[in-house]
Amino acid sequence: MKPEHTDVILRACGATSLRVGAKLKTLWSGYGDLVRLHLEGCDRPSVVVKHIKFPQHAAADAATHRSHMRKVRSYEVETYWYQNYATNPKCKIPACMAAYSHGDEMLIVLEDLNVAGYDQIRTSVNDVEIRACLSWLAHFHAHFLGVAPQGLWPMGTYWHLETRPDELEAMKDARLKAAAGAVDAALNGCCFLTVVHGDAKLANFCFSSDGRDVAAVDFQYVGGGCGMKDVAYFLGSCMDERECEKKVPKLLDYYFAELKPAVKAGTDFAALEKEWREMFAFAWTDFRRFLLGWMPGHRKIDRYNEKLANEVLDKLKL
């Protein structure tokens, strides 16, 4: 670790020394690492540092350049998010100790969620754990309902149509390709918009030991949007097509039951629920559009979301 990085972290945490611990993961496309640092001389035993280092090689083509610039922007958004936005205990996120940017490197120094009691990562989940994540999403969406996404992505999610022209061009499904703009417009044109996490997959939730409480991480694609984008994407990240067919209706009921008491007073909740329930199939169809252009053989392209997409296309008369 560079001396200037060490100085930033020590000052931010009030520590006297630090020791580099485990590398938790390599960031997408090799853009850096997530590392745990152990501290001495302060009341915080450890922090987690997101160390971003942009590659030096020149983009080989326009698509590669677009991909690189999207990633650069995503880390700028994430830094702004942690420095300028706050949630509440019902939708816990790690506190940001410091953020530092110089040249082709960035650091985001974050609270260690392991110390805060969210020390479990799940690769599969039971109904209690799914509901814990849906409750987090409901309270997150309620907290930011009607809030303009200043400094964030105007429309959140990493698969947002405007940021994915290459994947759209590569699509073979002509009917969905023709409808992509209409699906996007329906989602963006909702009367009720909030801030969406933008990458609310199972891997980005940290669980308490009993699985009843969660915190969320990884806010590179946080921005405006319909809350159903997060809900559909999350459910698809932890259930297969048979489970979705069986469980989604009751899980959606649970999400809205959590959302209702959390929204601001004066919100026409009946209208919100009606609109967002209709948008659930649109949100899943929007993600299916991305997958079909990005990785046509992806396991998440299945009969369940095909059925939802056909319903949406029929509704749009396409």
Q: What is the residue range of 233's domain?
A: 127-315
Is residue 29 located within the same domain as residue 84? yes
The two counts, helices (H) then strands (E), for the chain are: 9, 9
From 49, 80, 111, give the residue that closes a domain.
111
Domain membership of residue 117 (yes or no) is no
Please give the backbone phi and psi of residue 20, each rounded to the nearest 5 degrees, phi first. Answer: -75, 125
What pLDDT does 224 receive?
98
Which residue among 62, 80, 111 closes a domain? 111
**Is the domain of 222 the same as that of 290?**
yes
* Contacts for 66-70: CB closer than 8 Å, 24+ residues apart: 66/165, 66/166, 67/29, 70/163
What pLDDT was estimated at residue 59?
62
What is the C-alpha to C-alpha distance for residues 218 and 200, in angstroms, rounded to an integer? 9
Mean pLDDT split into 10-residue runs, the chain, 318 residues: 92 96 92 96 97 80 90 96 97 96 93 98 97 98 98 98 97 97 98 98 98 98 98 98 98 98 97 98 98 96 97 91
121 occurs within a structural domain: no
Whether 104 and 215 map to the same domain: the answer is no
Regarding whether 221 and 186 lie in a shared domain, the answer is: yes
Same domain, 218 and 165: yes
* pLDDT at 61 (0 to 100): 85
pTM beyond cutoff 0.85: yes
Please tell me the distance from the alpha carbon of residue 288 to that of residue 294, in angstroms, as a whole number. Answer: 10
Helix (H) or strand (E) holding 26: strand 17-26
Same-domain pairing of 77 and 22: yes
Q: What is the pLDDT of residue 318?
A: 63
What is the rounded distance in angstroms from the CA atom of residue 230 to the CA atom of residue 275?
15
CB 224 within 8 A of CB 152: yes
The per-residue pLDDT for 33 is: 96
Residues 146 and 78 reside in one and the same domain: no
Q: How many separate domains does the chain show?
A: 2
Whether 91 is covered by a domain: the verdict is yes
Domain termination site, one of 111, 146, 161: 111
Q: Given this model, what pLDDT does residue 261 score? A: 98
What CATH number should be reported for the domain holding residue 9? 3.30.200.20
Within-domain flag for 119? no
Radius of gyration over every alpha carbon of the chain, rounded to an integer in angstroms: 20
Q: Are residues 230 and 309 in the same domain?
A: yes
Place of tokens 């997150």: 140
Tokens 């152990």 belong to residue? 38
Q: Give the pLDDT confidence score for residue 58 in this predicted structure.
A: 56
Same domain membership, residue 186 and residue 57 = no
**Res 102: pLDDT:** 86
167 falls within a domain: yes
Do 271 and 143 fall within a single domain? yes
Q: Are residues 242 and 278 in the same domain?
A: yes
The answer as to whether 116 is a domain residue is no
Are 66 and 139 in the same domain? no
CATH number at residue 281: 3.90.1200.10
User: Domain for residue 120, yes or no?
Assistant: no
